[in-house]
DNA sequence: CACATCTGTGAATCCTCGG
DNA sequence: ACCGAGGATTCACAGATGT
């Protein structure tokens, strides 16, 4: 992993000549700083934008110009328009900076998330999920006037409708005890020793829990990927990225946060490579053709396969194709689909062979072959 | 309660002379029908507008069966702009029709809810909460490409920032075992005998559960109030309103839905105490995945676990999977079973970690986590 | 009759690669 | 760009059927 603060060559596909400030906090205005980053250069963006209009104590008009809040007259329309202009400005930069296969995450509450989501869609991003962070221990509504505001919403989007993207499905399923990870996540709010404090006072009002970023980075990035956080705050994204072996870039205008973030990230301990390994999808394993198993004697031409319920019997031919009792032939997949009259079929799990302990799927032989041949 | 189909005097504060079509289904276009309703005349609006799903091709389950998707014409819009125009048109009417102290509820998914929420704010409504309906039994993501889409979002808004509104705080607290009602609600999707069917086929593709409307009407209306539903469908709002002693007005374009709705509402009887109990969501017992402990720092990737007799040593990986000394991987349950050559294994009691007083089962950490996060 | 097993289905933006 | 083939992919609940 690159040392904190070093400049490293970007691995951007479009331009290898521009250096990215990897593992660095950039101070200053997020839009200006983003403008200086190259096209298609980061793998993920995580953004926790401000949701009130007091952007660092200043207000902006729809055109981005500065407003003197004391003398200018504000109504709600101006307020929303200004927020929208700000949102679209930084999201447009985010879209430009993102690699074609990258994704963006944005977190917000009902005050701003609808405006953010509309802008995300209007700028061409393609929403993949909205995720609900259910707070295990939210602050109660003390006056009893509304429902306890017990969640925040995240939007996960790709760069466009047809864009590919990283989603570590197996890792998420493993993390959730072998059930698909759902769109509602429960985490405690950030507190205890994780919460950064100075002189007993919390450093940042809305510090996000590391567990939240942990799940996001694990789900949608690979080790070595670059994650940009344009509203870095106290650096939760950086700390988790470093722990998980991902590169990070932070942008933050408040110097009080920058110092705390840097200190915190320096203290974050990177996990070693073996701990970073995760469950792989079968797609990422080397592909094994069914014929290979026949060639290598794991199955003999002429031997019989059946489905789990023994409804169909087929026999194996020398080239790895199958032939049914009524003469139909095809690959393990095609014939399985054809016999069931289904649009598709995974022959590896559909077809079984007679083993010592009963019927076993031929996929077991593939796994045995892979274990025997992989270093 | 007024008989179905009668005209009754509105109790609108602004104009006592205009009659409202109480407890009636109005057929036809929702915007045109709303235009004919008087200003400031209803206490609540519940709206379940088209979601604009933008589905692609056919989808099949892993077992080969076909997914019956929402392909109805009423959900099709050419562009976001067309959807926005439609949304703003009906929301503007809703704002006009609503009494000064009334509130509006709108339900949607990530496909449309951000656009709806933006329009709600732009039209002067004031958002009070966003509510998450967590589905107990959502449809899985069959291709493993995203997170399971396991929730829908509701927006609750008053007529303006300073508007008063009805919120039956005590009712909600009682309904929730004397804890404040949170913004995340869990209900099963609508099925079983509640799901309207004709010749074995569902009448409406997206019928909402009565429990959802029950909670909404109980929270934000008083007996005798008037509830308008401009996208009435099969009349869930009307059926629940009648049971709870609220007046209702439905607008629906599809005549096939109108007949089913009228029949259903005619059969709806005021709820008795025992029926009320079943409408309440059961106290969900918290489930904790092993990965949650890793995400929250109770165990660190790279740390070692053993069984009680120290026969096997495994190490924890970033996604909560385990890897044995001979390279086998899997979840706590699967790897425990695999190493023992057993069909199944409870990983929570099988695997132990090194604690101050010796080996402890990882289940102890789960208990600690629950104690720390449950109120 | 009790219990186990099988089957159906729900607001879903649901594949990837090589030729 | 299209086309074809490989082969990866599901959870909770209700209701029907089987033992």
Q: pLDDT digit string (tens) for A10-60?
A: 343 444 446 899 999 999 999 999 999 999 999 999 999 998 654 444 555
Chain B touched by A127 (CB under 8 Å): yes
Closest-approach residue (CA) in chain A for B327: A371
B3, containing H or E segment: none
When pLDDT is cut at 50, 70 and 90, the band that residue B373 belongs to is confident
End-to-end, the C-alpha distance of chain B in Å comes to 41
Could you tell me whether strands A313-316 and A201-202 are parallel, antiparallel, or unpaired per DSSP bridges?
unpaired
Question: Does the C-beta of A287 come within 7 A of strand D?
Answer: yes
Q: In the predicted model, is pLDDT for residue A6 greater than 60?
A: no
Question: Does the C-beta of A174 come within 7 A of strand D?
Answer: no
B 260-319: CB under 8 A from A: 289-292, 294-297, 300-302, 315-319
Question: Does the C-beta of B140 come within 7 A of strand D?
Answer: yes
When pLDDT is cut at 50, 70 and 90, the band that residue B344 belongs to is confident
SS3 B222: coil
Mean pLDDT confidence for A318-332: 94
Best residue in B60, B124, B130 for a mutation probing chain A (most A CBs within 10 Å): B130
Mean pLDDT confidence for B347-372: 94
When pLDDT is cut at 50, 70 and 90, the band that residue B326 belongs to is confident
How many C-beta neighbours within 10 Å does residue A330 have?
A: 17
Q: In the predicted model, is pLDDT for residue B181 greater than 80?
A: yes
Mean pLDDT confidence for B196-220: 96
Closest-approach residue (CA) in chain A for B80: A122
pLDDT in the model for residue B279: 58
Contact across the interface for B318 and A277, Cβ inside 8 Å: yes
Q: In the predicted model, is pLDDT for residue A69 greater than 70?
A: no
Chain B touched by A76 (CB under 8 Å): yes
B 189-218: CB under 8 A from A: none
Let me know: does B239 contact B99? Beta carbons within 8 Å: no
pTM to 2 decimals?
Answer: 0.92
Q: Give contacts of B122 with chain A, Cβ < 8 Å.
A: 77, 80
Let me know: does A177 contact B288? Beta carbons within 8 Å: no
pLDDT in the model for residue A53: 52
Instruction: Give B265 to chain A, closest Cα distance, Å.
Output: 29
pLDDT in the model for residue B284: 59
Q: How many CB pairs under 8 A join A and B?
A: 221
Q: In the predicted model, is pLDDT for residue A291 greater than 70?
A: yes
d(CA A321, CA A317): 5
Mean pLDDT confidence for B281-301: 85
* Closest residue (CA to C1') to nucleotide C10 in the complex: B139
Question: Does the C-beta of A284 come within 7 A of strand D?
Answer: no
d(CA B118, CA B122): 6
Nearest to A181 among B115, B116, B147 (CB): B147
Contact across the interface for A175 and B302, Cβ inside 8 Å: no
Long-range contacts of A316-320 (CB under 8 A, 24+ apart): A318/A294, A319/A291, A319/A294, A320/A289, A320/A290, A320/A291, A320/A292, A320/A293, A320/A294, A320/A295
Mean pLDDT confidence for B35-46: 98
d(CA B358, CA A348): 45
Spell out where A109-234 has E strands: 126-135, 151-158, 184-187, 197-198, 201-202, 226-229
When pLDDT is cut at 50, 70 and 90, the band that residue B55 belongs to is very high
d(CA B114, CA B20): 32
Determine phi and psi for A167, rounding to 5 degrees: -140, 110
Question: Does the C-beta of A361 come within 7 A of strand D?
Answer: no
Determine phi and psi for B201, rounding to 5 degrees: -110, 140
Q: Give contacts of B297 with chain A, Cβ < 8 Å.
A: 194, 210-211
Chain A touched by B117 (CB under 8 Å): yes
Q: Where on strand D do bases come within 7 A of a protein Cβ? A: 5-15
pLDDT in the model for residue A8: 43
| Highest mean predicted confidence (pLDDT) among A33-37, A73-77, B5-9 | A33-37
| Matching residue, tokens 């509304």 | A146
Chain B touched by A367 (CB under 8 Å): no
Mean pLDDT confidence for B296-307: 97
A 171-190: CB under 8 A from B: 171-184, 186-188
């Amino acid at each position: 992993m690159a040392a904190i603060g070093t400049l490293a060559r970007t691995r951007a596909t479009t331009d290898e000549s521009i250096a990215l400030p990897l593992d660095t906090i950039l101070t200053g205005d997020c839009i200006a700083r983003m403008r200086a980053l190259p096209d298609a250069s980061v793998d993920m963006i995580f953004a926790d934008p401000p949701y009130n209009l007091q952007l660092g104590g200043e207000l902006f008009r729809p055109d981005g110009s500065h407003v003197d809040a004391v003398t200018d007259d504000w109504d709600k329309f101006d307020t929303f328009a200004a927020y929208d202009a700000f949102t679209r400005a930084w999201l447009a930069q985010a879209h430009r900076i993102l690699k074609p296969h990258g994704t963006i995450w944005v977190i917000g509450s009902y005050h701003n998330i609808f405006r953010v989501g509309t802008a995300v869609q209007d700028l061409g991003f393609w929403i993949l999920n909205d995720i609900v962070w259910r707070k295990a221990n939210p602050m109660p509504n003390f006056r009893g006037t509304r429902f306890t505001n017990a969640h925040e919403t995240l939007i996960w989007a790709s760069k466009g409708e047809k864009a590919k993207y990283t989603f570590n499905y197996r890792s998420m399923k493993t993390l959730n005890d072998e059930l698909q990870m759902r769109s509602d996540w429960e985490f405690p709010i950030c507190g205890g020793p994780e919460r950064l404090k100075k002189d007993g006072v919390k450093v940042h009002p809305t510090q996000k829990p590391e567990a939240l970023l942990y799940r996001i980075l694990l789900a949608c990035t690979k080790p070595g990927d670059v994650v940009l956080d344009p509203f870095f705050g106290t650096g939760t994204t950086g700390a988790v990225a470093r722990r998980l072996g991902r590169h990070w870039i932070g942008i933050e205008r408040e110097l009080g946060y920058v110092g705390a973030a840097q200190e915190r990230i320096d203290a974050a301990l990177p996990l070693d490579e073996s701990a970073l390994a995760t469950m792989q999808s079968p797609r990422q394993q080397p592909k094994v053709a069914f014929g290979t198993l026949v060639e290598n004697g794991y199955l003999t031409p002429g031997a019989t396969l059946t489905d789990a319920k023994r409804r169909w019997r087929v026999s194996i031919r020398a080239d790895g194709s199958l032939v049914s009792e009524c003469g139909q032939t095809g690959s393990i997949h095609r014939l399985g689909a054809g016999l069931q009259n289904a649009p598709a079929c995974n022959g590896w799990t559909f077809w079984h062979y007679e083993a010592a302990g009963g019927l076993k799927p031929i996929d077991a032989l593939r796994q045995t072959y892979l274990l025997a041949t992989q270093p």
